[in-house]
Each structure stands twice: as structure tokens, then as C-alpha cells.
Amino acid sequence: MSASGRMPAAAHRLASEAETVIIGGGIMGLGIAYELARRGRSDVHVLEQEYLTSGASGRNGGGVRMQWSTELNIRLMQESMEICRDFASELGINVWLRQGGYLFLIRGQAELAQLERSVALQNRCGVPTRILTPQEALRIVPELNPKSFVAACYNPRDGVVFPWPFLWGYAHAASELGVQIHTYTKVTAIDVLGPNRFVVHTSKGPIRCERVINAAGAWSPAIAKLVGVELPNHPHRHEILATESLKPFLKPLVSVLSSGLYFSQSMRGEIVGGITVPDHDDGQVHLGSRLRFLEDMAADLLSVMPVLSQVRVLRQWAGPYDVSPDGLPILGEHPALPGFYLVCGFVGYGFMMAPVIARYYAELLCGGSRHPVFDRCRLSRFADGTSERELMLIG
């Protein structure tokens, strides 16, 4: 039972057979499980090596935004935002969606030119983002240091959610529909017996299935190796902190794309934020906290908002970004392995994408329509050179 008191229940014994095995009990795995079950395909087993909020989905900043540089991501996030808005009534759990906007601070002229193009594209898609002068930005956040940026862009409809209830909501609803969720069940090996025939070996025994969905986030390259597949995404440690609580004063999430800084004020009043810090990339997931992060974070945060200089940091933690070479995810069935599906490479925005991706993934798996995202984000784009880079990445 989780702190929410709503967790699905009793641990099931691992069945010997299932139609679908999903590896990873993060937002992607649970979202797809729920959407499959909602369509009547509930012979689904989710295998999670630890507890449900142990991966990136339980460690992130909860930002949800429609400001992107590719039309694909803008349109997907418009839909995802709708699902986030309806989530509480559909799944009966409050995810604390607060639409205070996203305010991106721009530090250089080249960056401004690129963001102007992105804002024009967002406007064409119906997202009301505006480019602001520093003085206009100060009307939204008066505590900003106007010397730390040359312009800003702002969409008042972006926002922040509290991530954990999202996971609990999906897990609870999926379980009610018959999905089996196995925590502390680590996948250790996978036998490929033929097309759509697998045996997934776990710390709790083997399970035979027709379909495997690799939703292991930053661990997905390691899972793919179990079936002899090399993926181009790799894990990157991303650190984040929370301060003591302050009287509510900050409405939007503020971010500086060029440094990877972002921060918002939580519903409890804490400043929650992170920054990109270089790390050694050895292909392993690292989750330790570093002093270097605190130093970089403090320096950049205070250059943007000096008024925070006396605020105490209460805790810091890290989570794994799952970085793909072009910043777009990797989706769909592996071309050489019928029945082996990928849903990974979401860098630092998989949480906000999960509601819409899970919906289209389930539709595809149930024989429904194939959303264009599956062609744009297919694994083979890296080999045939057709990838297009998403530029508005934090980190």
C-alpha cells in the first residue's frame, strides 16, 4: 500500500503466460497498460524492478508545456494537456495541475531568432505563446533580474503537475480493469522463441508472452541488449532540488534553455528546480547527488532571481534522463523482432508526453489507426538519416 492509500493491492503471483508483458512501471508502462485495458486488452503484466515511483517518473519536475520547436511535439502536447486536465475526473485522483505558464528566458540574439521561429510555429498551431521584453517579463515575475536575459517567451497555458498521483491513478485504474502489476520483479533475461513468442525471465520466475513492450526508460538500452538489440539512446543523470517553503509568489515555471536551468514553486511553497550538469557517460544509470550540481544551480538561479539568496535547500536528488540522439523518442515495433516494442528516449519530457503517447500506442496495438508519431519516431530514422532535431529541450 502506498502513501496515497489507493494502490492496487495485493501482489499477484506471476502467471506463467500473458498476452503482453510491459517492462517498466513508470508513467509510460502504466499509461500504456491502462489504455490497453480500457480497450478490453487486459491480459497485461507490468514488471517493475523496484517500486512504482522509483524511476524518472517519480523523480521529475512535473512540468507540462506546449512550447516546442517541432509541430509534432506541439500538437501532441496540446492533446496531452487536454488529457491532463481530464485526468482527475476520468481516473478519480487529483494530479494538482496548475496552469501558471512557462516563462523561458532568452540570453542571446541567436537563441532569440530561433525561439521567434518556434513561437511563430506554436501560434500557427493555436498555442498563444508571446515573445516578451525583459520589462514585460517583470510584470509576470517581478523578482527576476532584468540584466540576466534579453527577451523571454511565455505561454500562460503551460503548467506543472504533481507526478506521483499520475502513476498511482494509472496503476489503480489499470488494476481495476485486470492488469497485473508486479513490483520488485526484475527482468533478467529474455528468450526469443520466434515471431511474437517470448519468455521473459524475472527475479520471480519466467513468463511466456506474445508481446514485450520495453518501457524501461533510461534502462531501455540494457533491456534491448537482452534480445541482442543495440539502441542509440543513453542514460544521463539529471539532478534537482527542493528548498524550504516560501509564501506563494511565483506563478510560472521559469527556465533558461541555454543553461538548462528551470524552477517553479510547488503547491507547498518550495522552489523546485534543476540544471544540466555534465556527467561521465558510461551507459550506466547513476543516481547519486553531487556538490557540483548545488554550486551550478545556486550560481545560475541567483543570477536570474537574486532574491532567493538566503533560501535554504532542504534536499536534492537525481533521476535518469533517457537521451536520444535527436531529442525525439523511439517508438514502435522493432523492425527485425516482431512482437518487441519500444517506447523510450524521451529525454526530459516523457512525463508530459505519456498520456497522449499511451493513448496512441494502445490504439496501434489494438489494430486501430497509426498516428504519424510512429513513423517520425521509428528506430530506423537514425540509420536512414531522416531524423529532425527538437530544439526546445531543457537539459
Stretch near ligand FAD under the rule CB under 6 A, chosen from 32-40, 47-55, 87-95, 109-117: 47-55
In the list 23, 275, 323, 357, the residue contacting ligand FAD (rule: CB under 6 A) is 23
Q: Name beta bridge partners: 242.
A: 272, 315
Shorter beta-carbon distance to ligand FAD: residue 339 or 355:
355
Stretch near ligand FAD under the rule CB under 6 A, chosen from 36-44, 69-77, 191-199, 218-226: 218-226
In the list 33, 36, 56, 323, the residue contacting ligand FAD (rule: CB under 6 A) is 56
319 in contact with ligand FAD (CB under 6 A): yes
Burial letters for 226-257: b for 16+ Cβ neighbours within 10 Å, e otherwise? bbebebbbbbbbbbbbbbeeeeeebbbbbbbb
The distance of closest approach from Cβ of residue 285 to ligand FAD in the complex, given in angstroms and rounded to an integer, is: 8
Give the total of residues touching ligand FAD (CB under 6 A): 40
Shorter beta-carbon distance to ligand FAD: residue 198 or 349:
349
Rounded Cα–Cα distance for residues 155 and 12 (Å): 45
From residue 239 to residue 258, the character string flagging contacts with ligand FAD as x (rule: CB under 6 A) and all else as - is -x------------------
Stretch near ligand FAD under the rule CB under 6 A, chosen from 13-21, 68-76, 117-125, 214-222: 214-222
Contact yes or no for 185/203 (Cβ under 8 A): yes
Contact yes or no for 322/224 (Cβ under 8 A): no
The distance of closest approach from Cβ of residue 110 to ligand FAD in the complex, given in angstroms and rounded to an integer, is: 25
E strand residue ranges, the chain: 17-23, 44-47, 63-64, 102-106, 130-132, 151-155, 159-160, 180-182, 187-194, 197-202, 205-214, 234-245, 253-256, 261-265, 270-275, 313-323, 330-333, 340-344
Residue position matching grid coordinates 487486459: 42
271 in contact with ligand FAD (CB under 6 A): no
Shorter beta-carbon distance to ligand FAD: residue 149 or 263:
263
Interaction residues for ligand FAD, span 321-360 (CB under 6 A): 321, 346, 348-352
216 in contact with ligand FAD (CB under 6 A): yes
- Please say whether the dihedral angle defined by the alpha carbons of residues 173, 179, 181 and 187, taken in this order, is positive or negative: negative
> How many C-beta atoms surround the C-beta of residue 119 within 10 A?
21
> Where do contacts with ligand FAD occur on this chain (CB under 6 A)?
23-29, 47-50, 54-57, 59-63, 186-187, 215-219, 223, 238, 240, 274, 319-321, 346, 348-352
